[in-house]
Amino acid sequence: MKEKVLYKRPVALSEKPFSYCPGCTHSTIHKLIAEIVDELGIREKTIGVAPVGCAVFAYDFWNFDVTEAAHGRAPVVATAIKRIMPEKVVFSYQGDGDLASIGMAEIIHTANRGENLTVIFINNTNYGMTGGQMAPTTLAKQVTTTSPLGRDVKTSGYPIRMSELLLPLQGVKYIERVKATDAISIIRTKKAIKKAFMNQITHVGFSFIEVLSNCPTNWKKDPVESNKWVDETMAEFFQIGKIKDIQ
Amino acid sequence: MNENIIIAGSGGQGVLTLGLFLAQAGLKEGKKVTWLPSYGAEKRGGFSFCSVVISDEEIFSPLVAYPDTLLLFDQRAAEAYKNSVTEKTFVIENTSLIKNDVVLTGRKTLIPATDIATSMDFVKAANIVMAGAYFGATGKFLQTTGEQVMGEMLKGRNSHAFEKNLKAFSEGMKFIKNPALVAGVAFIKNLRLLKKKK
Amino acid sequence: MNGNGTVFIKGNHAIVEAALDAGCRFYAGYPITPQNEIPEYMSKRMPEEKGVFIQAESELISINMVFGAATTGARAMTTSSSPGMSLMQEGISYMAGAELPGVLVNVMRGGPGLGNISPSQSDYYQAVKPGHGDFHMITLAPSNLQEMYDYTFDAFDLADKYRNPVMILTDGLLGQMMESMDMKHDRKPLYPDAKKEWALTGAVGRKGQRIVSLLMDPGVLEAHNIKLGKKWKTMIENERKYELFNVNEETQYLIVAFGSMARISKGAMKLMKDLKIGLFRPITVWPYPYEELKKAAAGVKKVFVFEMNQGQMLDDVKIGLEGSKPVEFFGRAGGGVPMPEELCDFINKNK
């Protein structure tokens, strides 16, 4: 009987096994990006910018050029790379502490300059790598290691909806909020990220994909429970769907 | 030649441009030159001054403590620099805006530069009138050098602007070279001061 | 621009011309006095050279853009003045850690805090001991506009030679003043065609490569630091630069000063021709020419250190002299700039 290949590791994915926590969606999203890079045939012209946070090691898992950036600065590092080499496909991959807190100025101005870039924003409502501290995206009353009694909106403010914050900026062409909790939502996420890459290739402009992600370890939930929390609690505050799409 | 110049006035009077003009004249005649501006936080009306050093030798310090020539545009500038004047300093005062005599040492010549510029309906050219006075009084640079530099600095502007500036330049020179006029200004000023004292 | 020739130019503009001549094709900067002429002039000149000019939204963004530009192998620069340079310390450290070349210019003003906009040398410490982590940065301190141009050009070559950020440490006096200097548009950058194999230009026919400063595996960071340490040692051996002015066997007093203060010191020496006084001027303030200083001071009675701060380079002078000579310090603080006459007075009172 002849062997038929139904699925194999994308070339853009390295051979190194993922080291993320069991059930963490970082692995899933990394793989989606690698698949998209393969499908678009852009591995040799893709340059990624990794964040500070759990995904700082993203470069271990991708087989294309990747640079680190200081905490929050990925969008401006990506800006410089893209401006110097406009023919390359450049994206940043950032968590919520990185993008929505320390890197707020960088993301706002990069979006506002309308850089022809793709930004993948992983929102899991906490600082994962440093042990689960409160992030700007942490939900009201959510318990974290720096909000042990739950986020008090009176002193810590309300969670930031980054996608909606970027919506009015004229330089921004495409924003979609997705999640990766089940097969259907993962397929939708892939579609959105692929469109964000295509937008860059076809010079549409700045595209921003927010992926609601889980953090089983810091949330102290098993993977199934954590995905359920994304579906039922997070997605209630951070509404899934297309937020802006200008062609 | 070693000519240390300070020009002082207020922002908007063209103090820095006048410095640049003199520096360029020095360059044109083959000298070494430095030009050091003040750069205040305010764009207009703030205290403004520059130091220009013109020399046959390499210039080390672009800063001038005791100028060979001091060009003063207004009362505030005169107050600020009265103590930098030595017996050897040559002072050119714009009497249109300096009413009180505070610079008491040095050799001094007076010219109502702002009034002369105003009479030409070109008040902005008071600095060029002062430039003319400097050229006329010191004779350190050729008149043609000044005219050439002016042409270069106004390159790209219309010929009308050049002619008006040239006129201001020659009015300044003419005034300072006319002993009667200079003496007249001094006389009127002394009269005014005398009246004040009474 | 083509060809060479003498120009009468502002210090801040000379830096722009040098950078472009050295092949800088990326600039990001943020407005701050007294260096504004650099981004202003660059915004006009860089597009003429088909490079990228970006007005960044903060100094943090400027330096991180330079980081990004450097990852592509492009020659990149940012400029600022003291408070902005404080913000850039993060990026400088990341560049040193990731071994990325780049040029920074600090047109110093008075501090601390917002300070004022007058010329100052109060960022000496910050320049020679930058950022976090165990690293160094070659820092050149020009003293006239020719050097502003020449050393800015050199800085790009040195940055590429060592894959490390290089700083030009200057101040509002040299940035704002005008003077004649020779353009060398025909000067060729070193390593112009050197393949930057490490650069991220797309993984064509190869595996993806990385630019990182995070090295978490046990022992890896220590090994990286030791490798960098060898680089600092090479820099110390090869790149020390200084000027001796009127130093000979008869010299009785030695002034040590850098940048614009060295210039003012020469002005003072001109006024004190009867005194046998020489000047030692470090051009690289890191690596500091310690041995050369000690040698220059060998026969003198006393060493005078002049700075536009309250004694920062003074530490290095003392390290260099190893207690062999008495040292007198005179400094002006908070944006104060001394006249040559003030230095003469100090020398006369303390010789």
Please say whether the beta carbons of A194 and A36 come within 8 A: yes
Contact call for C67 and A59, based on CB within 8 A: no
Q: The domain that contains A57 carries what CATH number?
A: 3.40.50.970
Q: Is residue A19 part of a domain?
A: no
Question: For residues C12 and B197, what is the distance between their CA atoms, to the nearest angstrom?
Answer: 50
Check residue C1 and give its pLDDT: 44
Total H helices, total E strands in chain B: 7, 6
C215: closest CA among A97, A77, A65, A57? A57
pLDDT in tens, C153-207: 999 999 999 999 999 999 999 999 999 999 988 898 887 556 899 999 999 999 9
What SS3 state is found at C222?
A: helix
pLDDT of residue B44: 62
Task: Examine the pLDDT at C101 and tell me if it is beyond 80.
Answer: yes
- Band of the pLDDT at B196, cuts 50, 70, 90? low
Q: What's the confidence (pLDDT) of residue B186?
A: 81
Residues 6+ apart with CB under 8 A from C311: C305, C329, C331
C10, exposed or middle or buried, with CB in 10 Å at 0-12, 13-18, 19+?
buried
Residue C219: per-residue pLDDT: 95
- Which of C55, C60, C88, C213 to mutate to probe the A interface, most A CBs <10 Å? C60
Neighboring chain C residues of B34 at a CB cutoff of 8 Å: 177-179
Taking CB atoms and an 8 Å limit, are C208 and A67 in contact across chains? no
User: Diameter of chain B by CA atoms?
Assistant: 54
pLDDT in tens, B112-155: 999 999 999 999 999 999 999 999 999 999 999 999 999 999 98
Tens-digit pLDDT profile for residues B4-27: 999 999 988 999 999 999 999 999
Range of the domain at A114: 25-245
Per-residue pLDDT reduced to its tens digit, C139-158? 999 999 999 999 999 999 99
Q: Which helix (H) or strand (E) holds A148?
A: none
Give the H or E element holding residue A127. strand A126-127
CB contact under 8 A, C200 and A65: yes
- Provide the domain count of chain A: 1
pLDDT in tens, A114-149: 999 999 999 999 999 999 999 999 999 999 999 999
- A9 to each of A38, A57, B191, how far by Cα in Å? 10, 19, 100
Q: What is the least distance, in Å, from the CA of C285 to any CA of chain A?
A: 28
Q: What are phi and psi of B105, to 5 degrees?
A: -105, 180
Say yes or no for a CB contact (<8 Å) between A80 and C67. Answer: yes
Distance CA(B171)–CA(A157), nearest Å, equals 69
Instruction: Find out whether C202 and C37 touch, Cβ atoms under 8 Å.
Output: no
Question: Residue C8 is nearest to which of B27, B61, B66, comparing CB atoms?
Answer: B27
Q: Is residue A8 part of a domain?
A: no
pLDDT higher than threshold 90 for residue B159: no
| Contact present, B and A (at least 3 Cβ pairs less than 8 Å) | no
B41 has a chain C CB within 8 A of its CB: yes
Q: How crowded is residue C2: how many other Cβ atoms within 10 Å of its Cβ?
A: 7
Helix, strand, or coil (residue B9): strand
Task: Look at residue B38 in the predicted model and tell me its pLDDT.
Answer: 85
On the question of pLDDT at C110 being above 80, the answer is yes
Judge residue C111's burial from the number of C-beta atoms within 10 Å of its C-beta, 0-12 exposed, 13-18 middle, 19 or more buried. buried
Determine whether domain B2-197 maps to CATH 1.10.730.10.
Answer: no
**Residue B189's pLDDT is what?**
77
Q: Is the dihedral of CA A179, A183, A186, A188 positive or negative?
A: negative
Tokens 């450097």 correspond to what residue? C70
Q: Which residue of B has its CA nearest to C144?
A: B60
Lowest mean pLDDT among B29-38, B180-189, C320-329: B180-189
CB atoms within 10 A of CB C112: 10
Is C110 within 8 Å of chain B by CB?
no
Distance CA C45, CA C50 (A): 9
Using a 10 angstrom Cβ sphere, with 0-12 exposed, 13-18 middle and 19 or more buried, the burial of residue B83 is exposed
Q: Determine the average pLDDT of the residues in C38-65.
A: 98
Q: Is the pLDDT confidence value at B45 over 70?
A: no
Task: Identify which of C60, C209, C211 has the shortest CB distance to residue A68.
Answer: C211
| C182 backbone φψ class: left, alpha, beta (φ>0; ψ -120 to 50) | beta
Please indicate whether chains C and A are in contact, defined as at least 3 beta carbon pairs under 8 Å.
yes
- Domains in chain C, ordered, with CATH? 4-193+211-238 (3.40.50.970), 242-350 (3.40.50.920)
Q: Do B39 and C176 touch (CB under 8 A)?
A: yes
Q: Which of A81, A109, A129 to mutate to test the interface with C (most CBs of C within 10 A)?
A: A81
Better-scored residue on pLDDT, B183 or B169: B169
Over residues C73-92, the mean pLDDT reads 98
Asked if the Cβ–Cβ distance from A80 to C94 is below 8 Å, we say no
- Whether A237 is covered by a domain: the verdict is yes
Encode burial over A92-124: b for 16+ CB neighbours within 10 A, e otherwise.
Answer: bbbbbbbbbbbbebbbbbbbbbebbbbbbbbbb
How far is the CA of C318 from the CAs of A157, C255, C321, C331, in angstroms? 53, 13, 5, 16
* Cβ–Cβ contact C264 with B under 8 A: yes
Instruction: Please give the Cα distance from A37 to A193 (Å, whole number).
Output: 10
**In one letter, which amino acid is A247?**
Q
In this model, does residue B198 exceed pLDDT 70? no
Residue boundaries of the structural domains of chain B: 2-197
Which among C185, C105, C187 is positioned nearest to C148, based on CA atoms?
A: C105
Structure tokens at B141: 């640079």
Say if residue C2's pLDDT is above 60: no
Q: CA-CA-CA-CA torsion for B135, B138, B140, B145, nearest 10 degrees?
A: 10
C90-95 mean pLDDT: 98
**Mean pLDDT over the full length of chain C:** 96
* 8 Å CB contact of B60 and C270: yes
Q: Which helix (H) or strand (E) holds B15?
A: helix B15-28
What count of residues does chain C have? 351
DSSP code of B141?
Answer: S
Q: For the segment B75-107, what is each residue's pLDDT rounded down to a tens digit?
A: 999 999 999 999 999 999 999 999 998 988 889
3-state secondary structure of C122: coil
Chain C closest CA to B67's CA: distance in Å? Answer: 12
| Whole-Å CA distances, C259 to C172, C174, C184, C266 | 11, 8, 22, 11
- What is d(CA C140, CA C155) in angstroms, rounded to the nearest whole number? 8
How far are the Cα atoms of B4, B24, B35, C13 from residue B50, in angstroms, in the given order? Answer: 11, 14, 7, 18
Which whole number is the average pLDDT over C286-305? 98
- C183 CB-near residues (< 8 Å, 6+ apart): C1, C3, C4, C5, C6, C7, C17, C21, C149
According to DSSP, the residues that pair with A94 across neighbouring strands are A121
Confidence of residue B69 (pLDDT cuts 50, 70, 90): very high
* SS3 labels along B59-127: CCCCCCCCCCEEEECCHHHHHHHHHHCCCCCEEEEECCCCCCCCCCCCEEEEECHHHHHHHCCCHHHHH
Cis omega before residue A75 (within 30°)? Answer: no
Residues C125-150, mean pLDDT to the nearest whole number: 97
Cα→Cα distances B167→B141, B163, B172, C240, C249, Å = 18, 6, 9, 55, 58
Q: How far apart are CA B165 and CA B127, in angstroms?
A: 10
Q: What is the largest CA-CA distance in chain A?
A: 67
Average pLDDT, integer, range B153-180: 92
The pLDDT of residue C235 is above 60 = yes
Please give the share of chain B, as a percent, with pLDDT higher than 70. Answer: 94
For residue A119, tell me if it sits in a domain. Answer: yes
